[in-house]
Amino acid sequence: MAEQKNRQFKLAARPVGMVKPSDFEFTVGPVPEPGPGEVLVQVQYISLDPAMRGWMNEGRSYIRPVELGDVMRANGAGRVVASNDPSIAVGDYVTGLTGVQEYAVLAAKSAIKVNPKLAPLPRYLGVLGMTGMTAYFGLLDVGQPQPGDTVVVSAAAGAVGSVVGQIAKIKGCRAVGIAGGAGKCRAVTEEFGFDAAIDYKHEDVRRKLREHCPNGINVYFDNVGGPILEAALANLARKARVVLCGAISQYNATPDQLTGPRNYMSLLVNRARMEGFIVFDYAPRYGEAVRDMAGWLKEGRLKAREDIVEGLENFPSALLKLFTGENLGKLVLRVADE
């Protein structure tokens, strides 16, 4: 183990506008030693999430920013190769905030044990992980969909959006997805089973929403912000719920490029609300969500799709795929063989 090297990506600069490879520094260091109550994990998969862009910024948010020179924060999954805690054994598989590196030390109590025999390891970063939890609690707890409601989701071919639409269908709602390009729209309806898809790159989203949601939108689950949020606000039903999950169109904007929804007063006219949430707040209820999601996966009512990029060294370019809209489903980086 002592001869083993740990390849890492550290935050080298706070990005201005679009994140770029030079914002990270690739380094090689020694494999760390776990202290008391800690485990050493050989990371096999790293989750790539839009939220990571926010963690790179300075300033107050729901989580402290990554400091310059620190390993870039990320969720990861891997195998325990050393343990100083009786609750986790060598050979166990866990997920946790490993960061973008090959070997990570985790506090045993912050590591979540998972079973790769029940589901492929990357799925614990997707549908059965933070992504799935985000879709589940955001839609059900914040969005409060009722059977018969029309639920609209942006970034519908993405990791969270594709799951939101499927849960909406399971709960007896109509699901309309917004995605970029014909291929993604096909996946939204054919693979993920939404009732309709709108291609924002080639269609007038506002008009298409009116067409697909003749009685208005009851729940809008927003991952993108910008003009698509405005198109949804223009089509709300009375007492609609707008769930703020993300705003990927804004994450790489400089302060002067930020835009707010100019028609936010649609919330007043329609007696509607717009509400944000942070998935970490639901940690005490993750078990309930995982039980539901695993059951739906088993019954074939929920389809998981991972988009796997090979090799730690490709981290910066893989992360960029999120912001250029190239991924379909959950974007995961494979760092080591299982």
- Residues lying near a second copy in the complex (CB under 8 A) are found at 60-62, 225, 230, 244-247, 250, 258-265, 267-278, 281
Minimum distance, C-beta of residue 326 to a second copy, in the bound complex (Å): 24
> Helices in 138-238 by DSSP H: which ranges?
159-170, 182-186, 205-212, 226-233
Contacts 24+ apart (CB under 8 A), 91-95: 93/121, 94/39, 94/41, 95/124, 95/125, 95/129
Nearer to a second copy, 8 or 223 (CB): 223
Q: How far apart are CA 59 and CA 19, in angstroms?
A: 17
Of 102 and 230, the one with the shorter C-beta distance to a second copy is 230
C-beta of 149 vs 199, nearer to a second copy: 149
DSSP letter (8 states) at residue 170: H
What is the three-class DSSP state of 276?
Answer: strand
In the bound state with a second copy, the residue whose beta carbon lies nearer, of 73 and 79, is 73
Q: How far is CA 259 from CA 228, 231, 323, in A?
A: 12, 14, 17
Cα separation values, 100 from 6, 27, 37, 125, 332, Å = 10, 11, 22, 14, 12
Distance in Å, CB of 267 to a second copy, minimum? 4
Q: Smallest distance from the beta carbon of 140 to a second copy, in angstroms?
A: 16
Least distance from a second copy to the Cβ atom of residue 242, Å: 9
- Smallest separation, CB 115 to a second copy (Å): 32
Question: For a second copy, which is the closer residue by CB, 143 or 165?
Answer: 143
- Joined together, the tokens standing for residue 8 give 């890492």
Could you tell me the smallest distance in angstroms from the CB atom of residue 189 to a second copy?
28
C-alpha 76/C-alpha 333 separation (Å) is 9
Pick 24 or 220: Cβ nearer a second copy: 220
